[in-house]
């Protein structure tokens, strides 16, 4: 089962590239950043650790309220609790699913693999906006990350 989780990151990456979904490789370029001050959207921040993962991973805040089109920065903290260097990749997911196409990440640690020294603690930003085309009936969006250790990169 542990080996299967290693294979999930490359599989997920290639599947998303093939389908044009949830790109991990590049920042979004929002076409319209006009802020819709008439609406509020709550963005819930979540983190998931796979089983007994050797790192601690959590958002610095649990939620933030924004206007569609408003650029927002949040932070996640990661701690490598091992005595070895690890390379990890964050995989994002969104709820409800249809909100994912309206969630534009401008800067994210999920765009590339992250290398952590033994015991290293790091605060990593995510800069995003929710575009104003988000359906009005969606008032809450959950941004969740799961970290996977990248196979073959252990030191």
Q: Return per-residue pLDDT of the chain as tens, 155 residues.
A: 445 444 555 555 544 454 444 444 455 555 556 899 999 999 999 998 776 778 899 999 999 999 999 999 999 999 999 999 999 999 999 999 999 999 999 999 999 999 999 999 999 999 999 999 999 999 999 999 998 888 765 55
Domains of the chain: 2-149 (2.60.370.10)
pTM of the model: 0.77
3-class DSSP assignment, residue 61: coil
Q: Do 36 and 99 contact (CB within 8 A), yes or no?
A: no
Are 119 and 80 within 8 A, CB to CB?
Answer: yes
Token pair for 65: 């309220």
Instruction: In whole angstroms, give the CA distance from residue 93 to residue 114.
Output: 18
């Amino acid at each position: 089962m542990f080996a299967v989780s290693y294979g999930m990151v490359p599989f997920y990456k290639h599947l998303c590239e093939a389908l044009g979904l949830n790109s991990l490789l590049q920042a979004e370029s929002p076409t319209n950043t006009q802020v819709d001050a008439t609406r509020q959207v709550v963005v819930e921040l979540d983190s998931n650790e796979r089983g007994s993962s050797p790192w601690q991973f959590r958002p610095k805040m649990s939620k933030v309220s924004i206007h569609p089109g408003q650029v927002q920065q949040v932070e996640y903290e990661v701690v490598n609790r091992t005595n070895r260097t690890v390379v990890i990749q964050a995989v994002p997911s969104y709820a409800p699913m249809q909100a994912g196409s309206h969630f534009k990440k401008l800067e994210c640690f999920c765009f590339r693999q992250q290398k952590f020294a033994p015991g290293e603690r790091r605060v990593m930003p995510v800069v995003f906006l929710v575009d104003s085309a988000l359906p009005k009936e969606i008032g809450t969006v959950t941004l969740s990350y799961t970290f996977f250790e990248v196979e073959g990169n252990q030191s």
